[in-house]
Structure 1
């Protein structure tokens, strides 16, 4: 899997600059940018400002707020000069992405209050693509970015959007800029950086559809794994994430997380949910570790952290895990994490009404 980074930013900015330079002699101040309230000039300056802001977040790495600065154009800067600034800010963000370690995260408000270098790169590309579209629409220009760039954006920060046959049209629909057959128009939209949950020795890093597709296909999903990883169960779980995404029912906080050691940034296993909580607030979890990571308490630590996060929410009342009767190590993990065997009556009901395999034992933990 290719991480979203400097090359994609350069491609997006180059495509934007080519279109905007061709119209630099036009009136950008007096024309609105597509469906926005901003003029084309304001929108172009906004592109540059976003790229600089994201570069600043990665450089300063604040945890709680935006770095308090802004970008100001010199008096007399013409439209061609604004394009120069967009190219320069794109290069700055690309450099910040390139020099930022993979595990670093910085503040971004939606939805989980942080983003990685890939997240900021993806948001930067998205700002360039969408607002170049807005300006082009206002000026009556033709603009369509590469499909691969649009797919990369959708599979990283629009995990809740069911993919369509045309990635550019899907991205426009997902951001309230167009229509798709069979889907209601959107008037509000938000993108979604991946969720990261911290524990003492690990970070539980949410897996994007892009990473899930790579893991399912035999890749590393963008993670650096210890020897022997990822385990086959991780690849199977990635397939579940991918299936949910393709069906338009994936919810990133109820998907899959890779367990990454703080000490060396290496992935040791995965865990996650089998879907969002049901109407009664119940959700199922599963987990596995690479063989070389077993015996160090990582699974117990991760399950405790995930359970604490989930049970602190109002929409979760109970977590459960179904474990093979012969898998005593996994039963020990789930027990140490605060789960207990359910009563025989509850287990029998699960067998009969919910199709629970009779070779499995049911454990639960309530909020």
Structure 2
């Protein structure tokens, strides 16, 4: 049985237009199953495959290590409507040198509005306040939109290999 991480100890984080909602185990399980409850305000095409994979990783981490605190999966919601339009989060707790890895994705209908960079800046602040040494992320070489997201959030390209561009920001 998976320990129940409520997410209630971890507050939601508001930006100018978004709310990063820390997912509970039950919410992540619904996303993996693509089974919203009545009243779950999900945008069309949510969850995407990346959201399902991210929530699966979060659930495995909870099973293996327990509740990750702030180093969890978050649902990205529009403040104005409450609509869930994507996900963002950490791939796990900081590694042995204090670095965390992030991932994110939004439904096609809201891309190109700066939401991903806004959400990533908020996630980077969560990491900084939590005391990590740095944050890394990567994107396929043929995904310049994701490169721009990380650059706009303050991350810089540090390497390219195996079809990926790697980004990093230290604190």
Moved over 4 A (4+): none
Pair 1:366-2:170 in alignment: yes
Pair 1:340-2:144 in alignment: no
TM-score by length of 2: 0.90
Judge conservation of contact 1:220–1:230 (CA < 8 Å) in 2. no
Matches of 2:163 and 2:17, distance apart in 1:
33
1:262 is matched with which residue?
79
Q: Deviations over 1:216-261 (max 9, x none)?
A: 1122377411122121110111111111122234403111000111
Judge conservation of contact 1:241–1:256 (CA < 8 Å) in 2. yes
Matches within 5 A, 1:297-316: 297-314=114-131, 316=132
Secondary structure in 1 matching 2:147: helix
1:286 is matched with which residue?
103
Shift of 1:366: 1.3
Matches within 5 A, 1:136-155: 155=4
- Larger relative strand fraction: 2
2:55 is matched with which residue?
238
Matches within 5 A, 1:40-79: none
Q: Select which of 301, 315, 321 maps to 2:137.
A: 321
Q: Deviations over 1:68-125 (max 9, x none)?
A: xxxxxxxxxxxxxxxxxxxxxxxxxxxxxxxxxxxxxxxxxxxxxxxxxxxxxxxxxx
Give the number of the structure with larger relative contact order, counting CA–CA contacts within 8 Å between residues 6 or more apart. Answer: 2
How many aligned residue pairs are there?
Answer: 170
- Larger relative helix fraction: 1
2:92 is matched with which residue?
275
Cα 1:201–1:362 change in 2 (3 A) is: same
Secondary structure in 2 matching 1:219: coil
RMSD: 2.1
Judge conservation of contact 2:70–2:126 (CA < 8 Å) in 1. no
TM-score by length of 1: 0.44
Q: What residue ranges of structure 1 are gaps of 5+ in the alignment? A: 1-150, 160-191, 352-357
Matches within 5 A, 1:160-239: 193-220=9-36, 223-239=40-56
